[in-house]
A = this chain, B = another copy of it.
């Protein structure tokens, strides 16, 4: 059986450069389960800083023999993660776009390819990149709340989900559901998200932690080695595809995002968000 993919290590300098302030990491050594709690107000958007901290935290846990599983959840009410930070994609230099996109790729390569058991405890809405984070875990539990929604809604903003977002989505919900959902940029309310298989289970908010711990225990009951090799076998083709086209994917992102029409619609979207707030 093939060994799981090994993304290149982040330089150690990065570890020192960023203090851990956007993600709260707690490791329960008795169970071997860590929790990564997103606390980057207002909406846990995936900024370059957030992504870098995410990768460093995940790598530390990955290399910590006391840790066998991670639960991802949010410390901010009503939102799991709002997805990629639009300010990182607007009015910045080519170099910045490249650095940002590489960090998005890195986050996904590490999370989708993680040797640990990964459970998303989705306690709020989770559009676009936030949905990708959940999709990349082994299991998704979502709080049953008609106001929460989840989906890869990029098309709504006039942008296109990259092929590896799509591959990850297809692996979860199948080709037809993905085709329709991606083209419509659907944000699925929780019951629908459950029905189409985007999330595995719905629970009341006050049962989320308990349920996540129970699911984690069920997955950790398996011998790590066999489970890891099996996971790698299921995900390798899709991971390898990005690894093989990584630089091309960065160039695609840069040339797409730096188009004046795209920049304009992102600026309008940000204006709209600002007005909404005030």
Chain B residues with CB below 8 A from A178, complex form:
234
A31 contacts B by Cβ under 8 Å? no
Tell me the minimal C-beta distance from A234 to chain B in angstroms.
4
Q: A225's contact among B158, B161, B182, by CB below 8 Å, is which?
A: B158
Q: How many residues of A contact B (CB 8 A)?
A: 46
Closest approach, in angstroms, between the C-beta of A233 and any C-beta of chain B? 6
Would you call A161 and B256 a contact (CB within 8 A)?
Answer: no
**Would B1 and A256 count as touching, CB distance under 8 A?**
yes
Q: How many copies does the complex hold?
A: 3
Please give me the residue from chain B that is nearest to A252 by CB atom: B1
The listed residue with most B CB atoms (<10 A of its CB), out of A157, A180, A184, is A184
Chain B residues lying within 8 Å of A226, measured Cβ to Cβ, are 154-155, 157-160, 185
Q: Is A173 an interface residue (CB 8 A)?
A: yes
Q: Report if A145 contacts B (CB, 8 A).
A: no
Say yes or no for A230: interface residue by CB 8 A criterion. Answer: yes
Nearest CB on B from A255, distance (A): 10
Knowing that A158-B223, A161-B233 touch, tell me 4 more A-B residue pairs with CB under 8 angstroms: A1-B256, A157-B226, A178-B234, A180-B200
A residues lining the B interface (CB < 8 Å):
1, 138-139, 154-163, 166, 170-176, 178-180, 182-185, 197, 200, 218-219, 222-223, 225-227, 229-231, 233-235, 252, 256, 265
